[in-house]
Structure 1
Amino acid sequence: MAGDRNADGRDDVAAPDAVAPEFVLRRNRGRDARTRAPRSRQGPWHPSADRPDPVALLEGQATTRDLDIVPLRYERMSASPFAFFRGSALLMASDLATAAHTGITVQLCGDAHLSNFGLFGTPERRLIFDMNDFDETFPGPFEWDLKRLATSFAVAGRQRGFSTEEIDACVRASIVGYRKAMRRAADAHVLDAWYDRFDADGARRRIRAERDRGRAEDETVARLDAAIKKARKRDRMRSFAQLVHVQDGQLRIIPNPPLVTPVEDLLPGAVQDLDEVGIMRDLLAAYQDTLPGDRHPISEYRYRHMARTVGGIGSVGTRAWVILLSGRDDSDPLLLQAKTAQPSVLERFLGPGTHDSEGERVVRGQRLMQAASDLFLGWQRVTGTDGVTRDFYVRQLHDWKGGIDPETMTPRGAALYARICGETLARGHARSGDRLEIAGYLGRGRAFEEAICAFADAYADQNEEDYAAFLAARASGRLPTMGSGEPGR
């Protein structure tokens, strides 16, 4: 493995003799992976001569979505290079698949950009920081998630007008955070590694300590405090007050088209089945079998109303519903979100999955990677009256959810956030993959770090080129815009 040593020229120090032999073997497997995928060759990014047309990939993806909403997705992606990056997980997966990888498999988030991390409440009513979007989750090489995370900081840093040095500090922080957290997990007692999580109180202590060392500003501390306070207020009762009213004596979700459209306002045959309400009733009854425990609080709720909603940039155009339930009386509401689960963008490049449904894939992947998951997280497969089978996953709409706005981050605040995101991603990979094998591959040196930094910078260039091609396709009429009708008009 010449040429892939630490920065000071030393090979990694062997594990102590006291460590169980199988643990040593696992770490050594990671070192052996450097032969097929040297750390120094993880970057930069070089597109192949036959690289697929990025616009054509997006057009193909749109055929699996509700075409009347796809123009809204394109409009949101056109806002900035970072908005485009958020919606182009398929493009990056296609590119990552062209390079040699480590073969060290974890449960990938699949879309681990910086905006897919945030705060949420656990069933034990603690506020923690973790990954929060698993639509694309799939088993694959660990470095794919890390490359997407690192690149997201390069893209966002350019958009924020950070200097080259400031962007490099953010990207590097995400990688260093990942590497050090993975090494701690590999060296920790087994249960300590599995139980590790990052809660709101720990976040407060961490950022205040960084401020005291001069590595964070008072502004960063204030924004975290505000985000935590806002997340704790963003519960089911707040969502109920904002989304629901009483109409003709019945609880009804308030229309706000095209973002929120009650089921009865949808045109038959356009985006709903003839018996969509009946189908969703069946889904709620059946999905209880996928929830944890023999008796679950969902059994005490009854269906009241539902509406189609539009999700984030990456999922715009896939069916998503807000489902209103009530328990003891009308003042005891529960709002669930049922989202269509389509095949992961990674599947076409990594082979078929092993789960019976895409909803199960999302839920099991999320449960593997998160330190704690939503009490109402489950799945169901439904066949509509049109004969089309759709997979859904279901969760609470809001439950202490919140996050940090990347558009307001300072360079030092962004670097600290990048490190925390890297550490969080490492925790998820340590739970779902072999933490010793990954730590063995990463080692103590900077070869991997330098390569991923080079990759992120080069792929941020590629993202800008793809964004320009995307804007040109919209301007030419190749891609539909709001009000333009069918694609191509």
Structure 2
Amino acid sequence: MRLPSPDERRPLLLALRNLKMAESPHAYVRGNTVQYYDWLHSLRGHALPHGPAVWICGDCHLGNLGPLGHPSGKVKVQIRDLDQTVIGNPAHDLVRLALSLATAARGSRLPGVITAQILEQMIQGYEHAFLSPKRQQQPPEVIDSQIRSSKSRGWKQLARERIDNPKPKIPLGKRFWPLSATEREAMHELFQNGDLHHLVTRLKSRDDDAPVELLDAAYWVKGCSSLGLLRYAVLLGVGDGEERDYCLIDIKEAARAAAPRFAHAKMPRDNARRVLTGAQQLSPALGERMLASRFLDRGVFIRELLPQDLALKIEQLDSEQAMQIARYLAWVVGTAHARQMDETIRKGWLSELKQQRSKTLDAPSWLWKSVVQLVASHEQGYLEHCRKYALSLKKPT
């Protein structure tokens, strides 16, 4: 099997993205952040409330939340993808999460009235994070079971899941493509960085002076939003002899965020440092084990993947599960927002959220109207995407 060179990657990645996005309406929503922000830019006046200036996820859908391993050894459900993070309006995260939940509900064939109730539960969970910012919430069983599973995982499970090989080798194939000579040379130079050595040795109580060896590296074929960006998997050996440990490093290029930022907000100009700073504010379990660097003259952020890092697997849901998940995940997002605000700002934002509610729906009217518009536009966009994708697969006669 001939694997693509760096110059041949882009059209193949485009085809893979089209395939993923055609799998379901929910997959289309996950992979099309740009359409969400195109809709957002089309709004006039005060269609959404203007929340306080805090770091937001910027792409707050179900797939970007899940269990994360913390350097302390604990496992916490937090935001796990911060590519789009900016200092912006927290209402944007709420609408994006609501759209994702509503699309998942439709994928589970739940009636529209359940979608309305999901939004009610979501707002209640989000507000609770502001009313009791230090109080932990018990996750629903469908999420708690995944947290318990993540705690019991080790290197072999991570290696089989991520690289299909528990041995210290990255297998080239559909998921991993070979590096160019330039990329390989730059990779070896990157791992001469003392900060990167410290990033690797600080986890799992590794010795600070433990030797770190680059064993293998490959271009990682992963995700829809990273089309055309640099993405690498790097396998390292830490320590010597029987005490040697292995770790898998994820290196990802940081591109300019599509999410709108507040005009006068002070953020790092370098996109990798923007992602790192946002992660430190929103998801300490992730931000405390990340590093911003340069690779081939591009900003990249680097993290060690831990066995406990998992994307939530939420497929077919009944109505009760859907509402419990909505409440809990909104609380997770609310906690990430609330920790950046003092008491006065929290009370002001909470007061704003309690406005614009009708007698028939205990969720702000702006949230309901936004979800209705977005579900309709994404349904249309999904069908058009599938039509174009199907036509692109037809062979000329």
With normalisation by structure 2, the TM-score equals 0.83
Q: How does 1:229-240 map to 2 (within 5 A)?
A: 229-240=148-159
Is the 1:171–1:456 Cα contact (8 Å) retained in structure 2?
Answer: no
Q: How does 1:119-268 map to 2 (within 5 A)?
A: 119-185=67-133, 192=134, 202-203=138-139, 207=140, 221=141, 223-240=142-159, 243=163, 244=165, 251-255=168-172, 257-263=173-179
Match of 1:281 in 2: 188
Is the alpha carbon distance of 1:435 and 1:293 closer, same or farther for their aligned partners in structure 2, counting shifts above 3 Å? farther
Is the alpha carbon distance of 1:348 and 1:231 closer, same or farther for their aligned partners in structure 2, counting shifts above 3 Å? same
Q: Deviations over 1:7-59 (max 9, x none)?
A: xxxxxxxxxxxxxxxxxxxxxxxxxxxxxxxxxxxxxxxxxxxxxxxxxxxxx
Is the 1:108–1:429 Cα contact (8 Å) retained in structure 2?
Answer: yes
SS of the aligned residue for 1:335 comes to strand
Is the alpha carbon distance of 1:89 and 1:333 closer, same or farther for their aligned partners in structure 2, counting shifts above 3 Å? same
Is the alpha carbon distance of 1:69 and 1:352 closer, same or farther for their aligned partners in structure 2, counting shifts above 3 Å? farther
Match of 2:62 in 1: 114
SS of the aligned residue for 2:309 comes to coil
Match of 1:43 in 2: none
**1:319 aligned to 208, 230, 238, which one?**
230
**Alpha-carbon offset, residue 284 of structure 1:** 2.9
- 1:309 maps onto 2:220 in alignment: yes
SS of the aligned residue for 2:302 comes to strand
**Alpha-carbon offset, residue 98 of structure 1:** 2.7
Match of 2:350 in 1: 439
How far apart are the structure 1 equivalents of 2:269 and 2:57?
A: 19
Is the 1:291–1:378 Cα contact (8 Å) retained in structure 2?
Answer: no
| Corresponding letter in the other structure for 2:39 | D
Greater CA deviation, 357-366 or 284-293?
284-293
Match of 1:84 in 2: 28
Percent identity between the two aligned chains: 22
How far apart are the structure 2 equivalents of 1:152 and 1:350?
A: 27
Match of 1:468 in 2: 383
Is the 2:84–2:275 Cα contact (8 Å) retained in structure 1?
Answer: yes
Q: Deviations over 1:325-380 (max 9, x none)?
A: 11123741111111111111125996997314211111110110124336531111
Is the 1:137–1:344 Cα contact (8 Å) retained in structure 2?
Answer: yes
Match of 2:374 in 1: 459
**Alpha-carbon offset, residue 173 of structure 1:** 1.3
Match of 1:402 in 2: 310
How far apart are the structure 2 equivalents of 1:179 and 1:352?
A: 25
How far apart are the structure 2 equivalents of 1:321 and 1:417?
A: 32
How far apart are the structure 2 equivalents of 1:352 and 1:283?
A: 31
How far apart are the structure 2 equivalents of 1:430 and 1:291?
A: 30
How far apart are the structure 1 equivalents of 2:378 and 2:54?
A: 26
Q: Please, which runs of 5 or more residues in structure 2 have no aligned partner?
A: 1-8
Is the alpha carbon distance of 1:133 and 1:245 closer, same or farther for their aligned partners in structure 2, counting shifts above 3 Å? closer
How far apart are the structure 2 equivalents of 1:119 and 1:476?
A: 39
Is the 2:37–2:259 Cα contact (8 Å) retained in structure 1?
Answer: yes
Aligned residues: 368
Is the 2:355–2:364 Cα contact (8 Å) retained in structure 1?
Answer: no
How far apart are the structure 1 equivalents of 2:292 and 2:209?
A: 15
Match of 2:18 in 1: 74
How far apart are the structure 2 equivalents of 1:258 and 1:318?
A: 17
Is the alpha carbon distance of 1:143 and 1:159 closer, same or farther for their aligned partners in structure 2, counting shifts above 3 Å? same
**Alpha-carbon offset, residue 134 of structure 1:** 0.7
Is the 1:151–1:171 Cα contact (8 Å) retained in structure 2?
Answer: no
**2:295 aligned to 382, 386, 395, which one?**
382
Match of 1:23 in 2: none
Q: How does 1:341-356 map to 2 (within 5 A)?
A: 341-347=254-260, 354-356=267-269
Is the 2:59–2:82 Cα contact (8 Å) retained in structure 1?
Answer: yes
| Corresponding letter in the other structure for 1:70 | L
Is the 1:154–1:456 Cα contact (8 Å) retained in structure 2?
Answer: yes
Q: Please, which runs of 5 or more residues in structure 1 have no aligned partner?
A: 1-64, 186-191, 208-220, 264-271, 384-388, 485-489
Q: Deviations over 1:196-247 (max 9, x none)?
A: 655xxx43xxx4xxxxxxxxxxxxx3x445413321233334324563466x
Is the 1:253–1:324 Cα contact (8 Å) retained in structure 2?
Answer: yes
Q: Deviations over 1:102-138 (max 9, x none)?
A: 1522211011012211112211111211111111111
With normalisation by structure 1, the TM-score equals 0.68
How far apart are the structure 2 equivalents of 1:463 and 1:88?
A: 9
How far apart are the structure 2 equivalents of 1:293 and 1:77?
A: 34
SS of the aligned residue for 1:313 comes to coil
Is the alpha carbon distance of 1:378 and 1:371 closer, same or farther for their aligned partners in structure 2, counting shifts above 3 Å? closer
**Alpha-carbon offset, residue 290 of structure 1:** 10
How far apart are the structure 1 equivalents of 2:176 and 2:334?
A: 36
| Corresponding letter in the other structure for 1:358 | N
